[in-house]
Amino acid sequence: MSAGRINERNEKEKDMNNKERYKGIIPPLVTPLNADETLDEQALRRLIRFCINGGVSGVFVGGTSGEAMRVSDSVWEAAARTALDEAAGQVDVFCGAIDSSTGRSIEKIKKIEAMGGKLAVCTPTFYIKNFGQDEILRHYEKICRESEIEIAVYNIPNTTHVNILPQTIARLADNEKIVVYKDSCADWQQLQETIILLEDRDISVFNGAEELCFVSLMCGAQGCIPGLANFFPELFADQFKACREGRAEDAYGLQKKINRVRKCLGKGPSWVTVMKYLLELYGLGQPYVSSPLAPMNGEQKEMVQQVLKDQTLLP
């Protein structure tokens, strides 16, 4: 992207309040657990400080990487409260209000409001089959009517089995309470269409697929929400800065490194288990996962370490 195009985009964003407010790298925090699956509060605080020191713009607690639909309600609430307290006044805190129905999501939003949270992240409803885009519209419209805080729309078809189409988020962008859109569909054609449709709308677009960070940032997304930013915040923050400055070659080089690091997520029984092992490996917390996920074995740990060693990221 040329320097002229970069300046033109930056000038346009100055007139877009939400695009200017919400940008950069937002790690979707893992939820550190104790052996009994209660929250390891000190580890969560340590992780948040680590991410902030690594140059992130905010943190997202209670998301997919945080095992939001697997940990207990008490752990979800304690994690949100802890994140709001630890990050207070430093970076934005996105609080997940992810649940299977509109009413259940609103209940979580009310709890976030009571904690002092300013932004709730909501997926479409799931479990019972979604019956189309109109159902998605009704879901978010009701959430906005009954909420006092701002809302981020979260598209993650792989887990909800619901896909928010570009035309649907474009309609939702008319609601002043909806200020952020996180797209984890990992479909570049769809994400590109969404970025174009929302280019002149006052809503910030975040990419949630690590493999698309480079292209999404260079083509107009305001930021990324990559799971591996829990452990490598500087890598992603450096890429964001390179993209914003139009240093495409540098940003592309960092994307290649990100792609190579991502291979470690496939070396364990689940990507969640690998993320928890990374938490332990980097001295940020314990490796415990929510039941019934399997733990890492010795051979799997060695394979993860080899991937990181090859990228000079092994501690």
Q: Is 256 part of a structural domain of the chain?
A: no
Reported pTM? 0.93
Name residue 266's amino acid: G
Q: Which tokens is 313 given?
A: 């990221």
CATH of the domain at 202: 3.20.20.70
Name residue 70's amino acid: R
What confidence tens digit (pLDDT) does each residue in 172-200 have? 999 999 999 999 999 999 999 999 999 99
In the chain, % of residues over pLDDT 90: 93
Q: Is 298 part of a structural domain of the chain?
A: no
Q: How many residues does the chain have?
A: 315
3: pLDDT strictly greater than 60 = no
CA distance 207 to 217: 8
CA distance 256 to 235: 11
At residue 161, the pLDDT reads: 95
At residue 130, the pLDDT reads: 86
What confidence tens digit (pLDDT) does each residue in 41-80 have? 999 999 999 999 999 999 999 999 999 999 999 999 999 9
Residue 64 phi/psi, 5-degree rounding, is: -65, -45
314: pLDDT strictly greater than 90 = yes
Mean of the pLDDT values across residues 250-274? 98
Q: Is 276 part of a structural domain of the chain?
A: no
Higher pLDDT, 2 or 206: 206
Q: Is 260 part of a structural domain of the chain?
A: no
| Residue 13 confidence class, pLDDT cut points 50, 70, 90 | very low
Mean of the pLDDT values across residues 1-24? 67
Number of domains in the chain: 1
Q: Is 201 part of a structural domain of the chain?
A: yes
Q: Is 26 part of a structural domain of the chain?
A: yes
Q: CB-side exposure of 237: number of CA atoms within 13 Å? A: 18
Q: Nearest to residue 76, comparing CAs of 37, 47, 35?
A: 37
CA distance 257 to 308: 10
Q: What's the domain range around 138?
A: 3-247
User: What is the residue-averaged pLDDT of the chain?
Assistant: 95
